[in-house]
Amino acid sequence: MDCGGDFTDRLFSRVANFEGLKALDIGCGTGDIAFRLAELVGANGHVTAIDINRDALEVAKGRASDRDLKNINFKAESIEDLAQSEYKFDIVTCRRVLMYLPNQVESMRIVRNALKPNGRLLIQEHDATVMQSSVNLPLHAKARAWIWDTVKAEGANLGTGFDLYSILADAGFAHCEIMVEAVVETPAQTSQTVNIVRALIPRIVKAEVATEEEIQVETLENRLIAERKEKNATFVKELVFGAIAHNGN
């Protein structure tokens, strides 16, 4: 899926001041969100970043060292591990993690309990249940299916975005503010889809969604752009949802 970095920045901008806060990034991967948080909280703040993928954590640690970030540490932990911790955070962030969790409400309840009173959760999820573009773009539809059929085969809930408000409310969060944007590709744009497909090829093949021969990734971007230009069409890939949820009244 599209990383949604610009959307993440807009979501974070809803928080007036991060300076000095204690933040937790759940499912940090190789560190993109954790690094952004480290910049925002500054030298007087601190970021804890957790993930169950130890290989990703090693990459993140190396990247943090390259950036000379002193206010961040990485841990091989899951959301369930948070239930055993007494440490509380001002801010918790979580991007494209909830869709993979089997018990979403209980997981978010654990996250809420990891927040200080009046602490905030900033969460981002992509949703693939939105209708595709009415314009006939068969290659785009196929590439989209390669991505989302793979994610579904891995156990993800593709409708988590639309369920986000109810999940957070059921977990006990208050004042849930929801943001939604469409992820689109126009005839004038390069295709982010290609980068995503390229990164996912091992998983696509493992899930038996498509073969490398079917994908032909080296020519995929040119073929996608040509299809959009031929139809002079904008392709709507998915929706990205964000929420700011408060632990308090």
Helix or strand or coil: residue 64? helix
Q: Which residues pair with 244 in a beta bridge?
A: 122, 177
Q: Count CB atoms within 10 A of the CB of residue 147.
A: 23
Nearest of 220, 213, 228 to residue 196 by alpha carbon: 220
- Tokens in use for 83? 């239930």
Nearest of 191, 183, 185 to residue 220 by alpha carbon: 191
Nearest of 60, 121, 125, 119 to residue 93 by alpha carbon: 121
Q: Count CB atoms within 10 A of the CB of residue 135.
A: 14
Mean pLDDT on 198-218? 97
Mean pLDDT on 129-142? 82
Edge-first strand listing for the sheet containing 89-95: 72-76, 46-51, 22-26, 89-95, 115-127, 235-246, 174-185
226 contacts: CB under 8 Å, gap ≥ 6: none
Residue 72: what pLDDT? 98
Tell me the H-state helices in 171-247: 192-206, 212-215, 217-231
- Tokens in use for 249? 């009244």
Residue 96: what pLDDT? 94
Mean pLDDT on 118-122? 97
- pLDDT over 50 at 1, yes or no: no
Give the dihedral of Cα atoms 124, 128, 131, 137; nearest 10 deg. 110
Give the pLDDT confidence of 143-164 residue by residue, as tens digits: 999 999 999 999 999 999 999 9
**What domains can you pick out in the chain, each with its CATH number?**
5-246 (3.40.50.150)
What is the torsional sign of CA 201, 36, 97, 133? negative
As a whole number of angstroms, the distance between CA 13 and CA 231 comes to: 36
Mean pLDDT on 176-183? 94
Percentage of the chain beyond pLDDT 70 is 96
Beta strand 235-246 with 115-127 is antiparallel
Residue 208: what pLDDT? 98
